Structure 1
Amino acid sequence: MLLSPLRAECRQLWRLRGLLAVLTRREIAARVAGSAGGLLWVWLPPLLTVAAYYLVFDLVFGMRLGAAAPTARVGTYLIVGMLAWMAFADAVQRGMGSLLEAGGMLQKNPLPAGLFPARAVLASGAVFAPLMLALIPLYAGVHHFRPGVWALLPLLALQGVLALLAGYLLAILAAALRDVLQLVAVLLSLGVFLSPVLFPVELFPAGWRWLLWLNPMTGPILGYQSALLQGAWPGREVWLALAVWLVLLAGLLSLALARSRDQLADWL
């Protein structure tokens, strides 16, 4: 079956979950090694970005969105989508480069290749997930802590799976063709403009809104906005879009695993 290679890879990762946890901790430790600030230097860039949006758009300029937007405040709106996008982009880019970075180890040790994209994505999630969860109490006053805010938890979990599937697939493609690294970096820098991160969906021309759904993060971002800005459970289109992208990426990754099984070490 099409998904058999992916299921076999998942079983291997589950059996080696202890090793994966150790590798993830080492990955995080390596990012802050030799610095006195530790994790502060990992969290500082996204925190400064979030603070800048709030300061510039909400406090200094006092900009407001239209009535159709989930909130009137521009900075408050931007923070939700941009933080989610930064989390996704960081996880995908680190996952994409993980096999190339671990090439020497994979050539010498018969370890499952999936350990390395999984390590990279989990380490990225350990950095950004607390920042996303911190938005729950910060945004509670906007909607008086309505129960839909807890949709953030399944959205974060599904975004992590989405990033892992995309990162692992791109890691295999990057091993075969290094140009993938540059191409995806460009797409990630442009993709934020083809998503509801910078503007509400309602401001996008109605005849072209289907383009937004070509971005795998459109569904999660709409879900975060609904949960955090309105305290409402995301609509069915959010979950449907996520399901479609997860199934599509799972199928493509499984196919890539089957095709690269005997060649991956040579590519690296």
Structure 2
Amino acid sequence: MKQLSSDIAVLIRMRALLVVLTRRELNARFAGSIGGIIWAWIQPALTIASYYVVFDLVFAMRLGEHAPAERVGTFLIVGMIAWMAFAEMTQRGMNSLVDVGGLLQKNPLPPALFPARSILATATVFFPLFILVTVAYWPMHHGSLAIVAMLPLLLLQTMTAWLLAYLLAILMAALRDVAQIVAFVFSVGVFAAPILFPLTMFPERWRWVLWLNPITPYVLSYQNILLNGQWPSPSSWLAIACTMAVIAVILNIVIGRSRDQLVDWL
């Protein structure tokens, strides 16, 4: 893991520059708008509110007996906010190296900075929404001590997104078709996780397919905490560790093999 460890050490050493780059990316995303970063919160907040209004208030839809929540909208919100954060982090990070190709050709900056910048900028938008949802679901988890697990889960999800985004960013630099493949995978990925339906509604013999989706253990963990006031299961923590380890090993190999050609690809 020498290559990946070296890049992580660079991020730690250049954390001040990373903060500056993150702030500039946030400003660039909303340059020219009066509302600024507020617009970044409006879209996911309205999406969350629409689930509650449509499914819980208008149609009053209900889930089955073994579901973690009775109301459909209440259930959907937990998984969708996790999915929206993960999808936006990963896809923005994936495009980060191609977007700054000219800059990297002129300045010997570490490529790892730019996926990290995109991830942190997106995290700045979604973390407050996670806090808002945690507070809104207080009647369901009753302030259980399990909410303490939200912070490490959010940090681990951010780290997972960075590992995956950095890997995809390098692959995209080598082959632009990666963007089309990833867009398709994310368009169907929401159906391959217990986001739109509880895990218990999926055929038991095919549930292993859901665990191939990196977001599944996070969604199940958030559901346990916010809907039931319970700690994430050991299987979720194990799945998170295995997912991160697999991505990290692949990324380490890809970094080592692309180090000399990456700037030329851009």
- SS in structure 2 of the partner of residue 214 of structure 1: coil
Corresponding letter in the other structure for 1:253: L
Matches for 1:81-120 after TM superposition, within 5 Å: 81-120=79-118
What's the counterpart of residue 187 of structure 1? 185
Shift of 1:146: 1.3
Aligned with 1:122 (options 112, 120, 123): 120
Find the aligned partners of 1:30 and 1:150 in 2 and give their Cα distance.
34
Identity %: 56
Residues 150 and 227 of structure 1 are in contact (CA less than 8 Å); yes or no, is this contact kept in structure 2?
A: no
What's the counterpart of residue 228 of structure 1? 226
TM-score (norm 1): 0.98
What's the counterpart of residue 69 of structure 2? 71
Q: Which moved more, 1:199-208 or 1:28-37?
A: 28-37
Aligned with 1:164 (options 162, 165, 172): 162
Residues 195 and 212 of structure 1 are in contact (CA less than 8 Å); yes or no, is this contact kept in structure 2?
A: yes
What's the counterpart of residue 236 of structure 2? 238
Find the aligned partners of 1:128 and 1:236 in 2 and give their Cα distance.
26
Aligned with 1:58 (options 47, 56, 59): 56
Aligned with 1:249 (options 218, 239, 247): 247
Residues 53 and 79 of structure 1 are in contact (CA less than 8 Å); yes or no, is this contact kept in structure 2?
A: yes
Find the aligned partners of 1:14 and 1:237 in 2 and give their Cα distance.
30
Shift of 1:143: 2.6
Shift of 1:172: 0.2
Corresponding letter in the other structure for 1:164: W
Find the aligned partners of 2:120 and 2:263 in 1 and give their Cα distance.
23
Q: Deviations over 1:41-89 (max 9, x none)?
A: 1111111110110000000111111111111010000000001000000
Residues 51 and 77 of structure 2 are in contact (CA less than 8 Å); yes or no, is this contact kept in structure 1?
A: yes
Find the aligned partners of 1:250 and 1:134 in 2 and give their Cα distance.
31
Q: Deviations over 1:192-228 (max 9, x none)?
A: 0000000000000011001001100000000000011
Q: How many residues align?
A: 266
Shift of 1:39: 1.5
Q: Which runs of 4+ in 1 moved over 3 A?
A: none
- SS in structure 2 of the partner of residue 105 of structure 1: helix
RMSD over aligned Cα atoms: 0.7
Residues 50 and 79 of structure 1 are in contact (CA less than 8 Å); yes or no, is this contact kept in structure 2?
A: yes
Find the aligned partners of 2:151 and 2:263 in 1 and give their Cα distance.
37
Corresponding letter in the other structure for 2:89: A
TM-score (norm 2): 0.99
- SS in structure 1 of the partner of residue 137 of structure 2: helix
Shift of 1:154: 0.9
What's the counterpart of residue 142 of structure 2? 144
Corresponding letter in the other structure for 1:80: V
Corresponding letter in the other structure for 1:242: I
Residues 141 and 225 of structure 2 are in contact (CA less than 8 Å); yes or no, is this contact kept in structure 1?
A: no
Find the aligned partners of 1:252 and 1:238 in 2 and give their Cα distance.
21
